[in-house]
Structure formats: structure tokens, C-alpha cells
Amino acid sequence: MISKKAVFGLPLPISHGVRPDSSTYIVCGEPPDHGRSFTFSGSPKEALALAQLLNAAPTILAALKAVRSDCRDPDTDAGISPAAGELVDEALQALGVRP
């Protein structure tokens, strides 16, 4: 699950780098006690994209929940199309949240 301190069990923030042997790595958590680090088989650019996505997950989740809540609230004038509502639910499910 996702919280402000972890995403799918990985401590935040997620960062990346390149070792002296040119291998790319991902680090989860704050120094000096990194929760986890591992070699990433992709490029540094791909590692950056993954880190950005994982770091953004808590914000994305909060935004999707807010949209869903506003659209279901009869006292809110917010509305989205049924197709957009289904996409919000699918995105939440992809992040591990039940509709």
C-alpha cells in the first residue's frame, strides 16, 4: 500500500545513481539508514523515471481519492463523465485501493 513514508513497502524517498562500475542503482529511504538499495538493470534515465513515479505515488493517490470523493458527494458541484470516473477507479485499483 501507499503512505507518505512508503510506497508498496519501499521507504520514501526513492533516489537513483550510477556506481563507479557504471551500474545503475535505486535507493529507497533516507541516509544514513537506507531501507533498501538494489541494482537496476535499466538506464539512469529509466531509473530516474521510476524514482519520480514512486515518489509521486502518494500525491497521485491523494488526488485520485479527492476526485472520487468529490464526484460521489451530492453536495459538491464537481462532476466528471462516467468514462473518466471509471478511469479514476482503475487508477486507484492499480495503486492498490478498492473502489
Is residue 1 domain-resident? no
Instruction: Give the pLDDT score at 18.
Output: 95
Is residue 64 domain-resident? yes
Instruction: Give the pLDDT score at 85.
Output: 77
Instruction: Give the pLDDT score at 19.
Output: 94
Question: Do residues 49 and 36 make contact, with C-beta atoms less than 8 angstroms apart?
Answer: no
Beta bridge mates, 36: 28
Domain encompassing residue 87: 6-94
Question: Do residues 44 and 18 make contact, with C-beta atoms less than 8 angstroms apart?
Answer: yes
User: Whole-prediction pTM value?
Assistant: 0.74
Residue 67 neighbours by CB distance under 10 Å: 17
Is residue 68 domain-resident? yes
Q: How many domains does the chain have?
A: 1
Is residue 18 domain-resident? yes
Point out the residues of the chain with pLDDT beneath 50: none
pLDDT digits (tens, 9 = 90+) for 54-80: 998 888 888 888 887 777 777 766 677
Is residue 31 domain-resident? yes
Instruction: Give the pLDDT score at 42.
Output: 95
Is residue 99 domain-resident? no
